[in-house]
């Protein structure tokens, strides 16, 4: 009897782990990228602030089990992605109790744009995977969080759906 109850649970777990999420591409030409979400994300466009905070754009979709987001920031003077990532990590960890970076490597888009990837673990389990790219005066931070961990196929599906658009406008010089 116990075996009969376990088999459907195993089948469900396998399906959740291997089923691809149905997604739709969303183009943001003003910000120079395209990315896929399972449903329309919440978007926010924040103008540059007098305190030096750059013009930014965020698209976020939180389904409870998964939270997928992209943030694009004007960064016209930035040249060193490693310095940006090193500065970004402590700021991100402040918002994640008991979070720690457990891996750090390279990432790339299908177009060949090189970036960085790091995982953030909570309680020893990696649940956030982050990709960071710097191009055309813009810093793109793509974050995938899954209750199923970073091995959830939907994490890679989301992260690798990011594409820069040809002829994308550079960061607005007025926001420098």
Q: pLDDT tens across 3-26, in order?
A: 445 544 444 444 444 455 689 999
Task: Report the alpha-carbon distance of residue 14 to residue 4 in Å, rounded.
Answer: 16
Q: Residue 100 CB: number of other CB atoms within 10 A?
A: 14
Q: How far apart are CA 146 and CA 8, in angstroms?
A: 22
* Mean predicted lDDT score pLDDT of the chain: 88
Q: What structural domains does the chain harbor?
A: 21-175 (3.40.1000.10)
What are 71-108's pLDDT values in tens digits? 999 998 899 999 999 999 999 999 999 999 999 999 99
136 Cβ neighbours under 8 A, 6+ residues apart:
32, 164, 168, 169, 170, 171
If you average pLDDT over residues 114-131, what whole number do you get? Answer: 96
**pTM for the whole thing?**
0.84
- pLDDT at position 166 is 85
pLDDT for position 9: 43
Token reading at 24: 């739709």
What is the spatial distance between Cα 87 and Cα 120, in angstroms, rounded to a whole number? 15
């Amino acid at each position: 009897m116990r075996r009969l109850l376990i088999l459907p649970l195993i089948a469900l777990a396998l399906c959740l782990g291997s089923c691809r999420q149905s997604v739709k591409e969303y183009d943001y030409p003003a910000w120079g990228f395209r990315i896929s979400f399972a449903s329309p994300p919440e978007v926010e466009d924040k103008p540059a602030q007098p305190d030096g905070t750059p013009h930014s754009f965020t698209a976020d979709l939180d389904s409870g089990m998964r939270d997928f987001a992209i943030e694009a920031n004007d960064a016209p003077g930035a040249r060193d992605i490693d310095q940006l990532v090193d500065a970004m990590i402590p700021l991100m960890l402040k918002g994640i109790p008991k979070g720690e970076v457990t891996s750090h490597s390279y990432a790339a888009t299908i177009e060949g744009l090189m970036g960085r990837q790091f995982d953030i673990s909570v309680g020893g389990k990696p649940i956030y995977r982050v990709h960071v790219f710097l191009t055309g005066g813009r810093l793109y931070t793509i974050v995938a969080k899954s209750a199923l961990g970073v091995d959830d196929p939907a994490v890679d599906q989301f992260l690798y759906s990011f594409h820069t658009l040809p002829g994308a406008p550079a960061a607005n010089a007025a926001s420098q």
